[in-house]
Amino acid sequence: MKQKFNWIWCFVLLFTALSLQAADLKEGDLAPTFKIKDQKGQEFDLQDRKVKAQWTVLYFYPAAETPGCTKQACAFRDGIEKIRKLNADVIGISINSVEDQAGFAKHHNLNFTLLADEDATVTKLYGSKMPILKMSKRWTFILDPQLKIRAINRDVDPVKDATQVAEKIESLQKSPVN
């Protein structure tokens, strides 16, 4: 009985350690920069966003072509003009391949960049990797033109995310930088 208890305790500790190993990013932090391939196979460098002096929406999602992720992507597609009028652009990230991201973008006529984080490097960097599973949690980060994290949503409603993001960016742009 004692040995069984020890194994359970070890599993709990391991699960907790895996959950805590990722970065604990918060509002006000500089966003970790990275370079990975987009759905066209071209290199995307987050650092280039500073040159464009635009706001950036980084949204992490579990997997292309799943119901919630499709609803979220289509909501961003349909709301992209309002977001772009706020000098912002949307970047979707999942642990899918370049080919999967390309197919997802084509199938749903997505009009923004999707990034293929096949080895989960960026997902881990932002702390959104699910423990054990090769999937990201559904999290959204809003970065200002200097790549400072201005908002993090860790409780994303896939249908409302695009609308909430546009409202949040508009609010942030009206308020002074902390």
Residue 22 carries which DSSP code? S
Q: Could you say which of 69, 98, 102, 149 is catalytic?
A: 69
Nearest to 50 by CA among 146, 172, 159, 168: 146
Judge contact between 64 and 103, C-beta under 8 A.
yes
Phi-psi region of 158 (alpha: psi -120 to 50; beta: other; left: phi over 0): alpha
Place of tokens 């391991």: 14
Nearest to 132 by CA among 17, 23, 44, 31: 17
| Residue 69 known to be catalytic | yes
Q: Which residues are tagged catalytic?
A: 69
